[in-house]
Structure 1
């Protein structure tokens, strides 16, 4: 639904230090902020119908908060632009880009996954007209180690390695800084539900131990992979598609809070589920 206590096919999520959750409410064309333990959210971007005006969004897929300047950066998927909202004023940062996922590293660089160009680009904040740096992909669509086939969500770690959910190749790739190709760190064994397989992976996040958590979309589960392992382990869901507390219905975005709890954007259940993870 579209009330303030409802969501509609949510996608990416971001959680700040105060456990406030920022949600790309894809089907409602808005970004909603839910404070910790709130009963409803507040609209902080969009919410003015579907469209391409500056104050509108069209199917936003991801959102991050630049905590230095308190701005919100949005992958405005349907409008093929990355747009920044600050105090109700908007600025288009990057236009004509098949943006899907966003990430920011500790140096303040912005990373954008581009499903049309099958690449991840890195941008210096405030210098969006300058030369863009391709940090992963950019070698047309395919299934080689230097290619992607419809990438979506991304994660950047402390070493500026980029983790990419490579949806139609059913794998997660890791590109180290300045690498010419990636390594498969999850999936890559065809589409399926075995522990060594993924089915259209979406959200990807990595904990301080280097363990990779993947929203395994079509398998309605969240998997955890240790780099170098042949298979992952099930951490959430895996009990079929559904809306019970131990089930998911097409999980998409993932995020950690400061305590290491995992939040899952549960797409067709129109909810966010929080799980304490036992390491």
Structure 2
């Protein structure tokens, strides 16, 4: 953790013994101490660190090759499983895990399918799920309890491209829940795209000069506070 109001480049360790982390989510709603959730890609799970805790607690059961993670207002945890082409929801109240997007081990580009989903975002007000559907080169929007998603950005047919209406392997997504502007990390195109509400094309707001530098910039740019 690095404090924004200090000039020091020295950070504070908030989670240790983290092996192959693929994503981090910090839940700080102002009503409690911040809680850190980490998706562990090779360990097939999500670990939780409560503020000040030295030990992690696994939440949500198995999340195979886990990459995306998000938490809603009820502290339910959402996890994406790219190798199983689905997004899971773990209920803190019932301690059960359910599939809320995609079909288990069945990839495709139909409205009820995903293909290697990675980054996810949950609208904490309405429960709408946004999924960076990487191999379909699109961002899918799933309303709460919906059986099908709709394409919010990119190609509804799963076609890759490098123009303003397309993506090539989008890996992360976040949504400004006041303006509903969408931000997408477009990995192979080495850029961050911004999509206004109801837009059919995005605009580039950041561009990487190489695959390596872009991947580092794009993966780490998103947080709950945008």
TM-score, normalised relative to structure 2: 0.84
Counterpart for residue 148 of structure 1: 114
CA deviations on 1:39-66 (whole Å, 9 max, x unpaired) are 12222223xxxxxxxxx33211112233
Size of the aligned set, in residue pairs, is: 211
In the alignment, structure 1 residue 226 sits paired with structure 2 residue 187: no
Which structure 2 residues correspond to residues 131-210 of structure 1 after superposition, within 5 A?
132-139=97-104, 140-157=106-123, 158-188=125-155, 190-207=159-176, 208-210=178-180
Distance 2:170 2:68 in 1: 13
Q: What SS is found at the alignment partner of 1:180?
A: coil
Counterpart for residue 59 of structure 1: 20
In the alignment, structure 1 residue 79 sits paired with structure 2 residue 43: yes
Distance 1:122 1:257 in 2: 18
Distance 1:70 1:125, change over 3 A: farther
Which structure 2 residues correspond to residues 1-279 of structure 1 after superposition, within 5 A?
33-36=1-4, 37=6, 38-46=8-16, 56-67=17-28, 68-86=32-50, 87-98=53-64, 99-125=66-92, 127-128=94-95, 130=96, 132-139=97-104, 140-157=106-123, 158-188=125-155, 190-207=159-176, 208-237=178-207, 240-241=209-210, 249-250=214-215, 251-256=218-223, 262=226
Residue 72 of structure 1: how far off its partner (Å): 1.8
- The list of structure 1 runs, each at least 4 consecutive aligned residues, that deviate by more than 6 angstroms after superposition, is none
**Does the Cα contact within 8 Å between 1:203 and 1:254 map onto a contact in 2?**
no
**Does the Cα contact within 8 Å between 2:60 and 2:90 map onto a contact in 1?**
no
Q: Which structure 1 segments of 5+ residues have no match?
A: 1-32, 47-55, 263-279
Residue 125 of structure 1: how far off its partner (Å): 2.4
Distance 1:146 1:106, change over 3 A: same
Q: What SS is found at the alignment partner of 1:168?
A: helix
Residue 223 of structure 1: how far off its partner (Å): 0.7
TM-score, normalised relative to structure 1: 0.69
Distance 2:9 2:202 in 1: 35
**Does the Cα contact within 8 Å between 1:57 and 1:79 map onto a contact in 2?**
no
Q: What SS is found at the alignment partner of 1:57?
A: coil
Residue 126 of structure 1: how far off its partner (Å): 5.9
